[in-house]
Amino acid sequence: MAPSSSIAVRELPIFPLPEVVLFPGRPLPLHVFEFRYRIMMNTVLESDRRFGVVMWDQAQGKPASVGCCAEIIQFQRLPDDRMKIRTLGQQRFRVLEYVREKPYRVGLVEWIEDNPPEQNLKPLAEDVSQLLQDVVRLSAKLTGEPIELPDTMPQLPLELSYWIASNLYGVAEEQQALLEIQDTAARLEREAEILTSTRNHLAARTVLKDTLDDTLQ
C-alpha cells in the first residue's frame, strides 16, 4: 500500500535542531537566541503560531526531509530579546522543496499520516505497554529509586507509538526513523524490538547485581 498523505501543501518556516525529533502530541520547550530564529518566531507569532521542526543531520550536513509541525502554546520574551517558548507537536510533514533560505528556511511541505490500520492494533499496543512497564520496573530495581509511568500515558495505538518514540533518549537517528514510518503497526513493532532488547539487557544486569549482593552478604 502506498503511504497516505493529504493533497494540501503549504509553506512552513523550518527550524532545524541537532539531535531533536518532535512527535505529534508531544511538548518541546525551546530557548530561541539566534537572531534569524528570533525573527522567525516573531513572524510566526503574528500568524498561526506554527513552524516546522526537523532534525539536522550532522553527518550529511542538511536537515531531514520529514519533520513535525510545532504550535507555540506559551512564550516569554527576555530582556535581551531572547525568547523562551513552549510548543506542542502537531502534524507530521515532508519537505518537498525549500522556497527560501534567508533569513531562515521556509519549506513547501505536504502533510503525512499513517496508513489506515489493516488489523486490530490493541493487542500489539498492550504488548508494547507491558514491555515498557518491564523496562521501568527493572530500571527502578537497578537504581534503587522509584520510577513510575505517568497516568497520562496514551492508550490508543497511534498516540502510544508517538509517546514511546518521543521518550527514547540518545538515539535521535532511531527516533527519526520512527517518525518517518507511516504504519502504526510497524512503528509499534520496532518499538517492541527496542524495548525487548532493553529489557533483556536490564534483566541481565539485575541478575548480576543480585548475585553480587548475595556474595557480599
State the cell numbers at 109. 511541505
**Per-residue confidence (pLDDT) for residue 212, from 0 to 100:** 54
CA-based Rg of the chain, rounded to a whole angstrom?
20
Evaluate whether 14 touches 154 at the Cβ level (below 8 Å): no
State the cell numbers at 113. 499520516
**Per-residue confidence (pLDDT) for residue 213, from 0 to 100:** 55
Q: Does the 5-112 domain belong in CATH 2.60.40.10?
A: no
Report which DSSP code applies to 156. Answer: S
**Length of the chain (residues):** 217
**Per-residue confidence (pLDDT) for residue 106, from 0 to 100:** 97
Q: How far apart are CA 62 and CA 144, in angstroms?
A: 42
3-state helix, strand, coil split of the chain in percent (to 5) is: 40, 30, 30
Q: How far is CA 204 from the centre of its chain?
A: 28
- pLDDT mean for each 10 residues of the chain (217 residues): 58 96 97 95 95 92 96 94 96 97 96 94 96 92 87 94 93 96 97 95 78 54
Q: How far apart are CA 87 and CA 29, in angstroms?
A: 6
Using DSSP bridges, classify how beta strands 50-57 and 5-18 pair: parallel, antiparallel or unpaired: parallel
**Per-residue confidence (pLDDT) for residue 208, from 0 to 100:** 65
**Per-residue confidence (pLDDT) for residue 195, from 0 to 100:** 95
Q: Supply the angle between the helices 122-143 and 157-166 in degrees, to the nearest 10.
A: 30
Ranges in the chain annotated CATH 2.30.130.40? 5-112
Encode pLDDT of 71-105 as tens digits.
999 999 998 889 999 999 999 999 999 999 999 99
**Per-residue confidence (pLDDT) for residue 211, from 0 to 100:** 57
State the cell numbers at 50. 506554527
**Per-residue confidence (pLDDT) for residue 162, from 0 to 100:** 98
Burial of residue 191, with CB atoms counted within 10 A of its CB: 0-12 exposed, 13-18 middle, 19 or more buried: buried
**Per-residue confidence (pLDDT) for residue 145, from 0 to 100:** 84
Evaluate whether 41 touches 60 at the Cβ level (below 8 Å): no
**Per-residue confidence (pLDDT) for residue 8, from 0 to 100:** 81
